[in-house]
Amino acid sequence: MVSRISVPLLRVSLLQCRTFCTQEFPVGPNDERVQELLLRMTGMDFDKVFAAKKEPLKLPQYRLMTMEELKEVHAETTAKAGELLRMPPIVPVREPQGEVGERDEILDQYLDNKMVFTDTTQHKENKERRIVVRETDGTLRDANWDERDRMCQLFFPVLGRKMWLPPVLQGGSETMASLRSHFHVNILDRVCLQCEPDSEDYTKIHHAVYDHTDENRLHDLLRSTTYFGSMVWYLVTVKNNISGLLKDMLSKKLLSDAVDLLALYSMVYPETELPHNTTDTDITKIQFIKVCTGTVHKGMYWYSSLTNVINPIPLFMGSWVHGFMSSR
């Protein structure tokens, strides 16, 4: 049997995996306002969203358009890109299964191998199928999730999904080699195909990739991809540390993204009582960010509650803002 994901790479515990989805916050990842902020921070680089994939090349098509037609096509393309950038589902990690039904002593050591009985009824959700296992000692129990996933893949195969967890998703040397080669999106694409959204492996791999991305300042790898919003939500809710991402946004002069990130943080943690940005001018955004990071009114009572998150930011941002405002 394939070994479970190794601990050294995936430092997130199962408890944290469950917290990612089950901890109660004033807002959730599917709230309309949260989705709006996450989508704006994700960005929409058409070249990246519609990047060529490994498939047979098609001849390009050329069309002569009026300005009105061009605007319509641009709007359609933007809508399509928005759909492609939709976040993967964030759902609670499923509870362990394997409840024992009965034990028949007559069957003890009668079989050399376990037997699995699967409901193969057509047009039925896999999670609703009854799958039980008869152990060699005569115990009859419900199948655990690994067994269920394999049986469902055996009888109702998903195209591209393997029967066993691929090595690149096991958290070992192959995973690390892929991360060092900046194949973050490839790993996430693979785990979304291989694992169900509520599986432990699915959550652990996502968290590991997000940790590596944030620790190595590789946020651009996930910008304009479907995974950027999930990474932001993970950094805000599970890690409770947005300093790396905020510094990255400021270094790239992504003021609107920085404002949205702080706005999201204030929605998740209303006790911080961050001020609300009301206009879209760059100067106002700068002042808003300076207030939130403590470079202005550093003695405000909510600053201490953000120290563990944005403590590295004020000195860095103070010099950056000064240079930015001086150049205007």
Helix 255-268 with 243-251: angle, nearest 10 deg: 160
Q: Tell me, yes or no, whether 8 lies in a domain.
A: no
User: Nearest-5° angle of CA 34, CA 200, CA 173?
Assistant: 105
pLDDT, tens digit (0-9, with 9 covering 90-100), for 39-87: 899 887 767 776 766 667 778 788 888 888 888 888 888 887 777 778 8
DSSP 43-109: ---HHHHT---SS-----------HHHHHHHHHHHHHHHHHHTPPPP--PPPPP---EEEE-GGGTT
pLDDT, tens digit (0-9, with 9 covering 90-100), for 125-164: 888 899 999 988 888 999 999 999 999 999 999 898 998 8
Q: Percent of the chain at pLDDT above 90? A: 23
Cross-strand partners of 115: 134
Q: Tell me, yes or no, whether 157 lies in a domain.
A: no
Q: Per-residue pLDDT for 93 more than 90?
A: no
Residues 190 and 295 in one domain: yes
Helices (H) and strands (E) in the chain, counts: 14, 4
Q: Per-residue pLDDT for 18 more than 60?
A: no
Q: Per-residue pLDDT for 291 more than 80?
A: no
Q: Which of the 8 DSSP states describes residue 270? A: G
Residues 252-260 have a mean pLDDT of 85
Distance CA 85, CA 280 (A): 24
112 contact partners, CB below 8 Å, separation of at least 6: 136
Q: Tell me, yes or no, whether 29 lies in a domain.
A: no
Q: Per-residue pLDDT for 325 more than 50?
A: no
Residue that finishes a domain, picked among 109, 143, 177: 143
The number of distinct structural domains making up the chain is: 2
Maximum distance among all Cα pairs of the chain, rounded to whole angstroms:
86
Residues 322 and 173 in one domain: yes
